Amino acid sequence: MFFCIFDIKFNVMFTVYVLHSQKFNKIYIGFTSDIEKRLFAHNHSSNKGWTKSFQPWEIIYSEEFETKEDAMIREKQLKSSKGREFIKKDIINNT
């Protein structure tokens, strides 16, 4: 008797991203495993979340991580006062 077991792991990356609404001068910080789909959702007319009121959004910064846990840690750092200061000073003022 012969058994063949395949252990296929799909390399899913997690992206921490910063969106900017230039029209309203607002930022949004989040993470996702599909950045294109997530940006589309933020800008779609059926969006019912906080970001709907400040469309359109553009990605101004992103970082990729191998684990969801690492992405969540970085998202939390960027949402802190020091993280928001970094975004406003080093990212928004340089775009």
Residue 31 within any structural domain of the chain: yes
Residue 73 within any structural domain of the chain: yes
pLDDT tens, residue by residue, 8-50: 556 789 999 999 999 999 999 999 999 999 999 999 999 999 9
**Enclosing domain of residue 80:** 14-94
> In angstroms, how far is CA 77 from the centroid of its own chain?
13
Residue 5 within any structural domain of the chain: no
In this prediction, residues 78-91 reach a mean pLDDT of 95
Total domains in the chain come to 1
Residue 18 within any structural domain of the chain: yes
Residue 7 within any structural domain of the chain: no
Residue 1 within any structural domain of the chain: no
Enter the DSSP assignment of 25: T
CATH at 43: 3.40.1440
3-state secondary structure of 39: helix
Contacts of 89 (CB under 8 A, 6+ apart): none
pLDDT tens, residue by residue, 48-65: 999 999 999 999 999 999
Residue 8 within any structural domain of the chain: no
From the list 63, 53, 65, the residue with the least C-alpha distance to 12 is 65
Residue 67 within any structural domain of the chain: yes
